[in-house]
Amino acid sequence: MEDTKIDALRGRIDEINQGLLDLLSERAQIVQEIGFEKEKQGVPKFDPMREKSMLDALVIRNTGPFEDDTIRHLFKQIFQASLSLQQTEHKKQLLVSRKRQQADTIIQLGSAAIGGSKPVMIAGPCSVESYKQVRAVAAALKSAGVTVMRGGAFKPRTSPYDFQGLGLEGLQILKEVADEFGLQTISEIVDPAHIETAGQYIDVIQIGARNMHNFELLKAAGEVRMPILLKRGLSATIDEFLHAAEYILSRGNTQVMLIERGIRTYERATRNTLDISAVPILKQESHLPVLVDVTHSTGRKDIFAPCAKAALAAGADGIMVEVHPNPPTALSDAQQQLTIEEFNQFYAAIQRSGLL
């Protein structure tokens, strides 16, 4: 072919490309409008029947030279790009999203500002076992300068025959000790019926990994106006984790902190696999504070310190760790709780790193 002929045909191709681009952009705008409408009506974005009928109609009208399969493939790409456009729009609209709120959410817990410029240390026993036990930990935390204490009163145990926690009595112990030492407290609540009364005893309600998908509990947590510490589910994706937080925010409670606590993988060298990458991803995608629980994620005291440093270097707003006055006698997680002395060494090592 002569060059002039090729040039002319190429000119025509350029025009068609422009026409296709204009049509694709116009189509994308309509897709977005449909997405907003579907969002309002609460109907799913992906409609396989509609896709199938559009593809069938196109193939019937296909006169070549493309094969029917090629037409299906090309249009399927357009449909997929349209769906992800709707999903990106959906994410931007989430209350947890950084696109919706640029500024970091800061949760004030006494003198600690979680999500602020200074990361916090949260420590305490796995379970509240007795007044004496909690008091011993509280005294140690106070003298180390730690102001937020954790302690489980309602324990979601794997076996029904294991210690289930002291329940309400456990919350009362936390309150008594926290009042004496001027500490802020965090404890897990597992029953939606206890969410409202929890505020009389503790400062932060923890929703545990096993309950991250308990939507009635999340809704109840959204109804109160106190901080919620939401743990990542055992096998939850980051997207599922953020949507669980969205349940709480969507009911008006904006004081939510996210905590990575390890996920299930094939690896057995640690109790769970600490997903460090979740920290910067959550910080990018959401304005909520992000903490890391080094105890439940690793289950290994020997690597708490490097993992805590890695978490802080990755941008975590705080660390949670379990401490017990006499771990071998602990009624839960005996293997993985630090003694008071070990905690002091751990805390000093993190402070020396300059990350806290």
Interface contacts to ligand PEP, rule CB under 6 A: 126, 152, 188, 208-210, 231, 261, 296
The residues that bridge with 322 in the sheet, in sequence order, are: 124
What track of x and - describes contact with Mn ion for positions 114 through 143 (by CB under 5 A)? ------------x-----------------
Q: Which does 124 bind (CB under 5 to 8 A by kind): ligand PEP, Mn ion, none?
A: none
Least distance CB 255 / Mn ion (angstroms)? 23
285 binds Mn ion (CB under 5 A): no
Pick the binder of Mn ion from 325, 333, 338, 356 (CB under 5 A).
333
Contact present, 173 and 134 (Cβ < 8 Å): yes
- Interaction between residue 94 and Mn ion (CB under 5 A): no
CB-wise, 96 or 126, nearer to Mn ion?
A: 126
Neighbours of 306 (CB within 10 A): 13
Alpha helix positions (H), the chain: 3-41, 48-60, 68-93, 131-144, 168-181, 195-198, 215-223, 238-249, 278-285, 294-298, 304-313, 340-352
Q: State the minimum distance, in angstroms, from the CB of residue 304 to Mn ion.
A: 13
- For Mn ion, the closer of residues 104 and 333 by Cβ is 333
Answer yes or no: are the C-beta atoms of 89 and 37 closer than 8 Å.
no
Omega of the bond leading into 325 within 30 degrees of 0 (cis): no
293 binds Mn ion (CB under 5 A): no
* 188 contributes a contact to Mn ion by CB under 5 A: no
Query: Residue 246 or 333: which CB sits closer to ligand PEP?
Result: 333
- Residue 116 or 299 with smaller CB distance to Mn ion: 299
Q: Whole-number minimum distance, CB 109 to Mn ion, in Å?
A: 20
Map tokens 């589910």 to a residue: 233
Which is nearest to 81 in space by CA: 45, 40, 112? Answer: 45
Exposure string (b/e) for 103-125, b if CB count within 10 Å is 16 or more?
A: ebbebebeebbbbeeebbbbbbb
Q: Which of Mn ion, ligand PEP, none interacts with 209 (beta carbon under 5 to 8 A by kind)?
A: ligand PEP
